Structure formats: C-alpha cells, structure tokens
Structure 1
Amino acid sequence: MSNLHSYYLLLLFFFSTNIEASQQEPSESKLLTQQQTLPVDDRIIDLVEKVRKKEGDITTIFQRLQSQESTFNIAEKYLMLMISAYIHKQEGALALSVTELTQALSFEERMDTAQLNTENFSHIHLLLAEIYQIQGQYKLAYDEKKHYLEKRKKNRSVLQKIRLASLNEKYATDLKIKENELLENEQKLKSLQLAEATKRRESQQRNLAILMVTALIILVLLIRQLKIRATLKYLAKTDSLTGLYNRRVLFTQGVLLLQEHQQRQIPLSVMMLDIDHFKYINDTYGHDVGDKVIIAVANLGKETLRAKDIFSRIGGEEYAIILPHTELKEAKAIAERLREKVQQHVFELEDKTTENFNVTISIGVATLSSENTDFDQLLHAADEAMYRAKTSGRNQVCQ
C-alpha cells in the first residue's frame, strides 16, 4: 500500500511542476476570460487570481461580496464557492471545503464547457487535489490533477485559435494592400498578354488552317489506304467472280475444322460439285453466259446452305462445301436439295431469239472417317464420289 502512495505522490509532484509553469501565463487567462459565456464580476476574478497565486488575505473582500450573492449568476456562484472552500481550507475545515467544491462542480452541467476550461474555473480541481493530498487520499488527488490538465489542454487549444484570429486581424490590412497591388500588376500584365494573345491568335489561325488542310489530306489518304487494304484482304479470301471463299480459305478452314471435329469426335462432311456439260454451255452460248451460270449456281448454293457451312469455288465450274457437325445422311439430303434447286432454275438469255435453258450439277459427298484422316483425303474422297456421279449419268448425288 505504501508503494501505491509513493507512486501517486510522484505523479502529483510531476503535475505540480507543470501546473506552476502554466500559472506563469496570465496573458492567456485574460484572453480566454474575454471569451466567457457568462459575465463574472471583476472583484470575483481578482479574488480567484489571489487564490490561484495564494496571495494575501481575501476573507474581508469575500465577506463583502457574499452580501451581494443573490445577484450573482451561476458562474459567479461557482467561483464564490471555490473561494469559500479555499478560505475554509486555510482554516483547516477540509471536509467543509470538499462539500463546497463538490457543490460548485454540480453547477457544471448548466455552464459552458469552454468557460469551465479556463484557468480561473479549472483551478477548482487543483484546490480539491491539495485537500485530498492533505487528507492522504492520493488517488483522488491524482484524479483531480488529471482533470485539471485535461481542461488545461482544451483551454490551450482555444487559446491558439484566439491568437490565430488576433494575428489574422492584425495582418488583414497589410494583406489587403498587397492584394490591391497585385491586382494592379495583374491588370497591367493582362493588357500586355491581351496584345500578345491577339498576335498569337492570328498566327494560330493561320497555322490551324494549314493543319486542318494537311489533316484532311492525310485522312483522305488514310481512308483510301484502309479501303484498299480491306479490298485486298477481301480479294485474298474470295473468288472474284462469285464472291465465294477461294481455294486458299477452303483448305485453311478445312484443316482447322477437321482437327476440331477429330478431337471432339463429332461428324464432319464435305461436298464436291461440278456443273454438267459446262463446256457445251460455253461453246453454245459464249463465255459471258458461262460466267452467269457459275454465278447463278453460287447464289443458289448460298440460298440452300446453312450459315455455318463453308462454300467455295475451287476453279472453273467446280465448287467445294464443308459441312460442320453434319453426318453423311444429312449431308446427302442437303446435296439433294441443292441439286434439285439448280435443276429447277431457268436461265433466261438476253437474246430473245434463243430459248431459255436449264443446267444440272453432279455432287459427291464424303464424311470424316478412319479412312479419311486428313482434309486432303476427305476432299479427295468427295471428288471421287463426284466422278462416280458424272460417270453414272450426271445430275445426281453419290457418296
């Protein structure tokens, strides 16, 4: 227990050192007093200052002020109780002092916090701490001095704000003068800048016109280049006469699709078709009509085939078609529909003296199997099936 008392005594010594240093700043107290929410009689303030500094006999003055207590506000009553407790402490009536100080503290709920944090009001905690220390109640003395330091810290924060406001007011005039000088200089600078800006604007307008013309020329050339590139890309993939995929695309896509279908073990079919008696058409009606027949067969194929099918012209009157996800039976059905559609189509000639005519096609169908393990073999199988259709009388589908 004696160790605990020694600990609190050490803390009380430390607090007392800080408190003595803070009491050497009367100017701060005066500044903060000006910010009190409730007015306090100057005579009471003088008595409190003497209590804080422990100077002189205050009993006579205190007794004269007590006769006017009915006119005091709650802040003045607070301080009067603190002064009375100080007097009773000097007389040795410690219990009465504690009672008066406790009564004063009960007023705090109805008072302004900032006012309570000032030195004159927060001194009540120091007075209580001294009494508790004399009574040997070191824990209570420690708590009261701790309360005092907390209020002092808040008080110093307010003081800093007041000082800052005072400095702002002091230098406001100088700042205003400097601002006016700055505005005058800015006006002069703006006049010079305006003249310079006019010259720059004229120069910029000329440069902008040149830039816009140059940009327009570059844009036209770029668009032209993109169109040429798109056209070349399209031509590299398509047959110029029919717009179908060319042989190169057929083989590229065929290899990729075959690998995919082999890995996933799904059916893949290929068709080869050839226009029957095409040489006769060219010899009889001319190559222009022959080209129209090639184009017409291509268009009929587009109408018949599905979106996922790859339709290409591989040369002359020959076409090849890749049918993804398609078994042999379904592939033959698609081929038969295409054959019938071509057979039913009537080719009309511009020369009215010549009768209209029909054409037919021969189609070979092959499906991915263990015998056709690569795309070349699969296409060759379809080509052989087409040859059988030719030799069997044309205008038919063979597998």
Structure 2
Amino acid sequence: MHFIKPKNFYLFITALFFTLFFSFNVLANEDEEAFYIPIFSLNAKIESLIKLNDLKSQTAISLIEKLKADFDKLNSAEQYLYLVVQANNTQGINKHHQTINYLLRAKSLEAKINPDQLSRLPFINLYKTLAESYAGVGQFKKAYDAKNIFITKYDTYLKNERDKHIFALEEKYETQRKEDLNRLLNEQAELKTLEIDESLSNEVTTRRNIYIVIFLVFIFVLLLLRMLSTNKRFRELSKLDILTGIKNRKILFRHGKSAIKRCVEARSGLCLLAIKIDNFKLLNDIHGDYIGDELLKKFALLGTESMRTRDVFGRLEDATFIAVLPEASEDEAKAIAQHLKAKVAAYKFDYVGIDEQLNMSVGIVELSESLNNFELLLNTAMNVLYEIKDGGGKQIKIYQQDA
C-alpha cells in the first residue's frame, strides 16, 4: 500500500488554499461589478434632438425617424431620452394618453441607468411633462405626485449645481490664499537672508522682527475679514433664487410658515397668491432660454415692487411665483393681484424681441380654520391655478370654500 509523503501532502494543502483564496476574490469582484451601473454615453443624434426647440422641424422629424429605426441598438439612457422626446412631441397636440404611455415606458428604464445620470436635467424633465399630461387628462392626484417628484429632483439638481459652483469658488479662494501665504513666506525668507548678509545688530534685528510680526498679523486679519465676508455672501446667496434674486423655495416655505403662524396666533387675516406667467413655456420655446430668463427676472422685479413691505414674495418653480400677504383680506389680495397684472401687462418687452403683451394667472386662497397651514394654502392655490389654466388662463380667481 502506497502512502502520500508528508512533504507532498503539505505542498498539496498549500496549493489548494491559494486556489480557493483567489477564486473567492474573483467571485467577489464579479458580484461587485454586477451591481455597478455605468454612466452611458449619449448618441450625438439624441443630444442634437434634445437641444432642438422645435420638435416639428424637418431636422427634428428626420432625427426622430432615424432613432426610431435604431431604437433597439440604443443604450438604456438613450432609449429613455428618446421616449421623453417622443412624449414632448405628442403632448403638443393634446395626445396626453400617448404622452403618458411614452413617459411610463421611459420611467421603467430607470433601474438600468446610473442614479447620477438620472439626476441630470434632461432626465428629470420626464416628471414635469408627466405632471402636465396627467393634469391634461384630469388625473390631478397623479399630476400632483409627479410634480412633487419633479420639484424634489429639480431642487436636488439646483443644489448640486450650486454646490459645484461654491466648490469652484472655494477652490479658487484657497489657491489665492496659498499664493498669498507663499508670497509672505518668501518675503520672510528674503528678510532673514538680508539679516544674515548685512550682519545687523541685535537691536535692529529685533525691531525688524517686530515689524514683520505686525505685518503678518495685519495680513492675517485682512484674510480673516475677507473669508468672513465671503462666507456671509455664500449664506446670503443660499437664501435667494439663483436666476431672479428673490426668495427661493426653501426660504419661501420658511418665511411663509412663520407669517401664517403669527397671523393664526394674532387671529388676523392672511391670503396666499399663486402666480403663474401664462404661456411661458411657449414663449421660452419660441424665443430661447436667454429671453425666457430675462422675462422671469423682470417679472420677479415687477412682483417685488408690487408687494407691501410685510409681504413674502418668492419663486416656487419655473414661471410660478408665490406671495404671502399677512393681514390682508380677499379683496385686498385681489387688488394687489390686479395691480401686478396691470403692471405686467403694461410693461414693454420689445427690448428682448417680444411684441405681445405678457399675461398672468393668479389663484387666491384665504387663511381659515380648515386651511390653516402653509402646505394646505399652497396646494389649494395651485389647484386654483390648474382650474384657471383649464379655462384658458389670464384670470384672477379666489378660492371659494364649501359652506
């Protein structure tokens, strides 16, 4: 009978151990890679189609047909954006059910797309279009939910963009600070070299060192003041809407809730106005984003001028603005809305190439026992806006509570 020699046995055990160890690592890496979703590159035709303002143009139609033929060859992100474009194309001709079908097909691809890529603006616009189409077919609950998702994703998008901007500014500031510090260190080194070369007396050396310390303290104080000023500016910017310079959504909610709480405690009146520029999307599509931004900035300025000092006025989203009017009755709120409407209608936008009159719709809701917090007032006012939109817009409508 043959037996395995001890030396060979030990070699066999060692080889088996290393084989199992490397096999385990390979399987672990494969499992880790299986859960990673890469960021897809985008077809040039898709990117061109997204940038086109007119989806009915011959160029857009040609691109859509080419992409339709190659749909199965597109990656998940490209298929997602293609379906969103198709949805936008059908929405304009009131085929809301077909639009919703396209958008839900696109939404089903989200699990196959990297979350960072989904957070980009062309992707999150799906929920905005979905909300509009749900509203178009009367499914207001789904429209509201889709709108909330869009607002959440859009806020996250804006926050990420703002964080990138702030990071770039901080990096620039840090580079400048290091350059200033290096320059000071070089000056200090030169001074020390001169002290050695000229063999100054102890009294002169001491006096010079005192001057250097004072200079460094002075520079440090200047840098500290500059840093405090920059931080203060960053805090101020975080409270404002980046485009219009008025209160952003976060601050609007905070100040609105505080105003309502004060009025409830004081048992005084309060009205909330939801204001929307009529046909803004059409104007933006026709004249471009730059002109659209100019309209929003000017509208925000006119709105601010029309408010009282105690009123809270800010931008909620896109072309929708909110005004909270403490100690105001429905008649007073309507008067303020009419004043703003007249002011906007009278303003000439011909300097940006728009000849037609700008119109707006306003939904007014008054504080009451059943509508006693900011969220309820806001949701009710937005529903009034949807009713005005269905009726053709260009109205000021007061919400009437059921008896």
With the length of structure 1 as denominator, give the TM-score of the two structures. 0.47
Q: Looking at CA atoms only, which structure, 1 or 2, has the larger radius of gyration? A: 1
With the length of structure 2 as denominator, give the TM-score of the two structures. 0.47
